[in-house]
Every structure is written in C-alpha cells, then in structure tokens.
C-alpha cells in the first residue's frame, strides 16, 4: 500500500497566494465588469530591460546554431554568470567569496524550499512572525518543529533573538511582508547567536536591491564571522523582473559547517553541491545569459530605473494611506507596505472589504502568521496608474 508523507496533513489546504487567487477568481466571475487592481502577490509588472531582452535574443540565436548550441548546463551555474555575480554583488562591496561558493538556480523559492534536504529533520527551526510562508510550509513538509520569533511593532518588526537554542534561523531583510530591515547591530547579534549555538542562518535577501539607506547591510557577509554560519539566498525576480523568467542564486560559503551525529563538522557547500547535482539539471543557458546582462553598464542603469519606478509606487501608497488615515510601515527600503487594519477588523475582513468595495486585492497579514492579524500587506509591484487609482479608491472609502 502506497502511503503519503503524513507531514502534509499539518499544512493548510492551500498555499496563501493560491488561496487569494482562488477568491479573486471567484469575485471576478461574479463581477465580470469590475476593474480589479492587484496589490496582492509581489509580482512585477514592468517589462524586462532592453539589455536583458537583447541577451535573450542573442542566446536564442546561439541555440539555433550547431556550432554554439548548448545542452545540459552545469548544475551549479555557468562561470560567466557566477563571475558577474561575484564581481558586482560581492567583490565590489568588499566581500571576498569564490565562484564555487555561488550556486545558480531557478529562483530563490525553490532553493529556500529544498535547502532543508541537507539538514536533519530534528533541527528546531526559528522563523519570524509574521513570515514569508515558504519557510514554514517547507519545514512542515519535512516534519520539523517550528518556533516563532517575536517581531514587535515597537522594535520595527525586527525578529527578536530567542532565550533558548534553535538550529535553523530564517531571516529576511528587507522583510517580506513587513517591509522592515535589519541593521548592522541586529545582524551582528544574530551572527553571534548562531556562532554560539552552532546554528545556521538562512538569510533571504531577495529584496536587497530595494535598500535605499546606505547603512543597512545588503548581504549578511558584511558582518564579521557570517561566512561560518550563514547561507544567503538571492534572486533576479524582484531585482530585474525575472518572476516569469526564473533565475536566482544561493551562496554557501566553504567555511560553513553543520555537524553529523558524532559532532564532526561537515561542509554544507559540499552537501549542497551533491544535492544540486543530483536533483537539479541547471538553469537554462539563455536565462543565465539574460541574468548576466543585468550586470552590464546599460543593464544596471535600466534595472535601477525600474526599481525607482516601483519605489515611487511605494511612496504613492504610503502617502495615500496616510492621507486616508491608516498607520503604515515599510515601503522605504522595501517594496512592501504593512498597514494596520481599521480598529475591530480582522485582516481577512479587510481583504473582503477592499475587494468588494474598492476592487483592490491585497494580502491579509494573518496569512503570514498569527502576529500578522490586524495587518495587511500592499505591494509596490504594480503599474503606477493602477497604484494611483487604488489610492483614490481607498481615500474615497476611508477618508473621513
């Protein structure tokens, strides 16, 4: 008799964004004329940059010619992309790494989800509350025990270090969903905690390109000692509009170790390489060429312009919410705005009200964890004209 992974029974029936998509589809079916504006899932709306498009065309032409055609890509990425990442994202910022510490993938989500494969199911996982649901759901699937870290509003939603010992710590800065960032002091405290407890930090910096404050670290490796305790996950999705193209990378330093049952150190870089070469056949050549183009002079300029466009949306949302009488957080170093729902209204009630009365889709805070109740997330990833329209609708409904 075939049996299931019982851990799946502990998951909610649908992934958060699938549940929202289901509700919106049902609303649209009943209200076919409604002009629904999505500020829900953080999905980009602006076209890929010209540099990326040109690189894609060139790579497609190479695939059409026997002389330049490529088959399987190296499982951990082509050197041309790893070197571009190394030079631009790390060496240029004073962080020394080597290219065999970089693993190219098809976006941060899958590597974040799979990284647990190389770690024991007995590890205790710590996540912030509220949290990006992927960290929780993937660990529930593997049967790990999860502990929630307090993220008090008076501490700007920064994950607080626990009194006890945990083994796997997920940190996300700039944060999805609260839009907050961890400063150097806070990250240093986490690195010290991880070193003391022989824990590993899984640092999700998918939104680092949105940091405008130069004092905020963009990489955890800006903190001394982090290479011994941290993995970093990055993505071209939000940096360069690759949500539908799929490319990201993970940094697994060679100094980083976890321990076997006898307490002997084992290289996570070696285990992750073994994992990827077994379960992954590499990101497509044309996509890696497209990602490389993000680092060309023109590519950088075009990418920055798109980021500025989204951050201008964030400002429109923050200003609009303030005028309409809401308290809102984030949206300065991150493309997410975390607002407080009107008194007495749960985050799903607010979701329904916004959808039914303003035709705006957002994300209920409670979908990100128990402490998200009473909050609601709006994304700056949208067309500017829709953001303006959405704020006008909210003003009309809530301004008093």
Name the one residue in this structure whose structure tokens are 């992934």: 15
CB of 132 to ligand MLT, least distance (A): 6
Q: Which string of b and e fits 55-90 if b means at least 16 CB within 10 Å?
A: bbeebeeeeeeeeeeeeebbbbbbeebbbbbbeebb
The DSSP 8-state label assigned to residue 378 in this structure reads E
Per CB under 6 A, contacts with ligand MLT among 41-70 are 41-43
Cβ-contact 104, 283 below 8 angstroms: yes
- Cβ proximity to ligand MLT, 18 vs 26, nearer residue: 18
CB of 156 to ligand MLT, least distance (A): 19
- Cβ proximity to ligand MLT, 41 vs 382, nearer residue: 41
When asked if residue 362 is in the footprint of ligand MLT (CB under 6 A), the reply is no
When asked if residue 109 is in the footprint of ligand MLT (CB under 6 A), the reply is yes
When asked if residue 393 is in the footprint of ligand MLT (CB under 6 A), the reply is no
Size of the site for ligand MLT (CB under 6 A): 6
Site string for ligand MLT, 172-211 (x = CB under 6 A): ----x-----------------------------------
- Distance between CA atoms of 382 and 202, rounded to whole angstroms? 28
Residue nearest to ligand MLT (CB): 42
Cβ-contact 249, 217 below 8 angstroms: no
CB of 16 to ligand MLT, least distance (A): 8
CB of 141 to ligand MLT, least distance (A): 16
Which of these segments, 39-47, 57-65, 207-215, 244-252, binds ligand MLT (CB under 6 A)?
A: 39-47
- Distance between CA atoms of 173 and 168, rounded to whole angstroms? 16
| Ramachandran class of 156: left when φ > 0, alpha when ψ lies in -120 to 50, beta otherwise | left
Cβ-contact 312, 384 below 8 angstroms: yes
Site string for ligand MLT, 117-146 (x = CB under 6 A): ---------------x--------------
Query: How far, rounded to the nearest angstrom, does the alpha carbon of residue 8 sit from its chain's CA centroid?
Result: 23
Name the one residue in this structure whose structure tokens are 């939000």: 238
- Cβ proximity to ligand MLT, 38 vs 359, nearer residue: 38
**Would strands 145-150 and 168-172 be described as parallel, antiparallel, or unpaired?**
unpaired
- Cβ proximity to ligand MLT, 41 vs 332, nearer residue: 41
CB of 377 to ligand MLT, least distance (A): 8
- Cβ proximity to ligand MLT, 43 vs 373, nearer residue: 43
- Distance between CA atoms of 283 and 248, rounded to whole angstroms? 9
Residue 45 is encoded by which pair of tokens? 């709306």
- Distance between CA atoms of 223 and 187, rounded to whole angstroms? 7
CB of 176 to ligand MLT, least distance (A): 5
- Would you tell me which residues interact with ligand MLT (CB under 6 A)? 41-43, 109, 132, 176
């Amino acid at each position: 008799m075939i049996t299931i992974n019982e851990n799946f029974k502990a998951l909610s029936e649908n992934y958060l964004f699938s549940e929202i998509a289901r509700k919106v589809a049902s609303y649209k079916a009943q209200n076919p004329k409604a002009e629904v504006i999505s500020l829900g899932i953080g999905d980009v709306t602006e076209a890929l940059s010209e540099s990326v498009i040109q690189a894609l065309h060139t790579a497609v032409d190479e695939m059409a010619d026997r002389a330049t055609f490529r088959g399987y890509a190296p499982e951990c990425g082509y050197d041309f992309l790893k070197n571009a990442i190394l030079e631009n994202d790390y060496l240029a910022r004073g962080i020394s790494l080597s290219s065999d510490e970089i693993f190219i993938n098809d976006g941060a989500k899958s590597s974040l989800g799979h990284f647990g494969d190389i770690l024991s199911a007995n590890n205790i996982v710590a996540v912030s509350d509220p949290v990006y649901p992927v960290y929780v759901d993937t660990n529930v699937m593997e049967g790990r025990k999860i502990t929630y870290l307090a993220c008090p509003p008076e501490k700007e939603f920064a994950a607080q270090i626990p009194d006890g010992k945990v083994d796997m710590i997920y940190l996300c800065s700039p944060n999805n969903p609260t839009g907050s960032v961890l400063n150097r002091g806070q990250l240093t405290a986490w690195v010290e905690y991880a070193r003391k407890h022989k824990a590993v930090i899984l640092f999700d910096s998918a939104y680092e390109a949105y940091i405008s404050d130069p004092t905020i670290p963009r990489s955890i490796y800006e903190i001394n000692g982090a290479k011994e305790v941290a993995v970093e996950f990055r993505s071209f999705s939000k940096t360069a509009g690759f949500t539908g193209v799929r490319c990201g990378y993970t940094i697994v330093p060679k100094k980083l170790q976890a321990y076997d049952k006898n307490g002997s150190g084992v290289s996570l870089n070696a285990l992750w390489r073994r994992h990827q070469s077994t379960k992954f056949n590499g990101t497509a050549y044309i996509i890696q060429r497209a990602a490389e183009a993000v680092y060309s002079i023109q590519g950088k300029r075009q990418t920055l312009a798109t980021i500025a466009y989204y951050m201008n949306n964030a400002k429109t949302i923050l200003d609009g919410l303030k005028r309409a009488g809401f308290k809102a957080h984030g949206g300065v170093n991150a493309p997410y705005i975390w607002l407080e729902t009107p008194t007495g209204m749960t985050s799903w009630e607010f979701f329904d009200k916004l959808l039914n009365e303003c035709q705006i889709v957002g994300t209920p805070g409670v979908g990100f964890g128990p402490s998200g109740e009473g909050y609601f997330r709006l994304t700056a990833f949208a067309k500017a004209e829709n953001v303006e329209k959405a704020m006008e609708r909210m003003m009309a409904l809530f301004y008093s």
